[in-house]
Structures are given as structure tokens and as C-alpha cells.
A and B are shown apart, each in its own frame.
Chain A
Amino acid sequence: MERVPILKIGDILLVSIQVDMSDETAVALQEDLAERIVATGCHGVIIDITALDIVDSFVGRMLSTIASISRVLDAETVVVGMRPAVAITLVELGLSLNGIRTALNVERGMELIAIDRADDDHHEEWDDGPVAGATASP
């Protein structure tokens, strides 16, 4: 069985799907990614599907599952590079890709993840409540 390689770039895991995946390969990718997220402590996953000429219900479900798994493991997933014909077909097929964030390309995906992490950090500080002795800003 072919395996889809996972690259680590800074704080992000990049998966560039270059083959017409069998269902088995898709399932293996799900598991490999979960392990890599935990092993690397990465907070972002970018799945580049530029080379995919179709996304059917199985691959669509895999993308949703990856997004859910990474969320539980404190990582954001962004799917990038969907071809226009693929998007049109997905909608007609009835796949909503619920919970999946998308961006046009890898750079935009990275920006999205960076913005997200910045927001999260902000919220975490805020959630902790005012630090003793701190004064409200004017």
C-alpha cells in the first residue's frame, strides 16, 4: 500500500496528496497524521489537494475526520488547493465538508493557522482572568 508523506514545516504539518489514494491509503493517512501531531506537538495541519482530480464521499469523510481528530489534539486543519471542478462536483454530490476550513493555497492556509493561534493565545490569557495586581488598561 502506498503511504502519503507528511512533512513538518516549522510548527505545521504539511500533507500534499499526490496520488489517487485507495481507501486503505486514506485511512492510513488519518492514523499517521494523528500520531505525527502528538509526536511533534504541531498546532496546524495543511492538507494540499491540488493534485486530486476528484474528492468522493470517502475522501470527503476522511478530510472531515482528520479535521475532528486534529481539533481534539489541539491542532487546526486547513484544506488547500481544491480545484474548481472538484468543488462543483462536491456540492452536487451533497458533501458539505462540515467543519473543514479551506484556503486557496498553502500560503493562505499558513496565514489562517497563524491568525488562529494568535487568537487562541489571546483567549487563553483572557480566560485566566485578571492577574493579581494588574490594573485595567486605560
Chain B
Amino acid sequence: MTNGVDLGRPQAQTVGSDEDVVRVRQLVRTVAVAVRLSLVDQTKVVTAASELARNTLVYGGGGTVEVTAIDNGRRPGIKIVFVDSGPGIADLDLALTDGYTTGGGLGLGLSGARRLVDEFDIQTASGQGTRITITKWSR
């Protein structure tokens, strides 16, 4: 693919600061362009990644983000994995509710990010860290 983006090869970005969240957005944008997402879909997936990377930083105490260009045989897409070894989320249903926040935010990050992507998978438990995988397919 273009721009140094190879199909199936993950590109990692550590998330330890504000500036790293900016870098995650830029990396996601590059890969989203390479797999030919429409402008609106690029915008959606970059926005979702920005929300989740910020949560990784703020609540997870930092972690890593891996961005991969993928292809399911019918169409290309982008897969992003956010991993932290923070406190985890005890009540996932609650955390996924619009407006729920423990940090004085708007409580839209998790629930909004889920709406913006095609696939959203979250693995977390109290004290076990959090791992979120999102996918957006090119149409």
C-alpha cells in the first residue's frame, strides 16, 4: 500500500502524553487514507481513535495503540487496538452509557466511539486493564 503502510503489519504508538494522542490521530489518518476510507469515514475513525487514546492515557494511565491495515477478501479496512494495564472498567454497561463519566468529561468517548465504527470489542475487568479493538471497513 501507499505511505509506508503494509497490509497486515501493525504500527504501534505508545500513549504516555497529550502529544502521543495527537500522534495516534495522525497515524490513524495515514492508514485510513491508505485503505481508501471515504473522507467522512476517515473523520469518524480518527475521532473514535482520539477518544479511545485519550481514555487510555487518562484512565488507563497510558498504554499502546496498534494500527493495522486489513483486508477481509472483499474490502480493505483499518483495525485499531488500544491497550492499557490500568484499573479496568468494573461496570461496562454503565461506562458505555452516554453521559456517564468518572472524570468530569462529557461521558461520550466510549459510547460515541462505538457508534462511529463498524466493529467495537472491549475486554476489561476490574484490576485487569482494558483492551479495545475497533474496525472500520472501506465501503
Question: Which positions in A face B, CB cutoff 8 Å?
Answer: 20-24, 53-58, 60-61, 83-86, 88-89, 92-95
Contacts and interface: CB of A to CB of B under 8 A. Distances in A.
B18 A22 contact: yes
B46 A57 contact: no
B47 A89 contact: yes
Contacts of A95: 106, 108, 112
Interface stretch (B22-30, B63-71, B81-89): B22-30
B50 interface: yes
A31 to B, nearest CB: 16
B46 to A, nearest CB: 5
B136 interface: no
Give the most central of A53, A60, A84, A93: most B CB within 10 Å.
A93
Contact-residue bracket for chain B: 20 to 34
B29 A53 contact: yes
Contacts of A61: 105-106
A135 B15 CA distance: 70
B109 interface: yes
B19 A89 contact: no
A60 B25 contact: no
Given A20-B26, A23-B18, A92 B112 contact: yes
Contacts of A93: 47, 51, 108, 112-113, 115-116
A89 B48 CA distance: 9
Given A20-B22, A20-B25, A89 B116 contact: yes
Interface stretch (B2-10, B37-45, B125-133): B37-45
B108 A94 contact: yes
A88 B43 contact: yes
B116 A92 contact: yes
A88 B47 CA distance: 11
Contacts of B46: 53-54
Nearest to A61: B106
Nearest to B26: A20
Given A20-B22, A85-B43, A92-B116, 9 more contacts: A20-B26, A53-B43, A54-B25, A57-B51, A84-B40, A88-B43, A88-B44, A89-B116, A95-B108
A60 B40 CA distance: 18
A22 B22 contact: yes
A88 B43 CA distance: 9
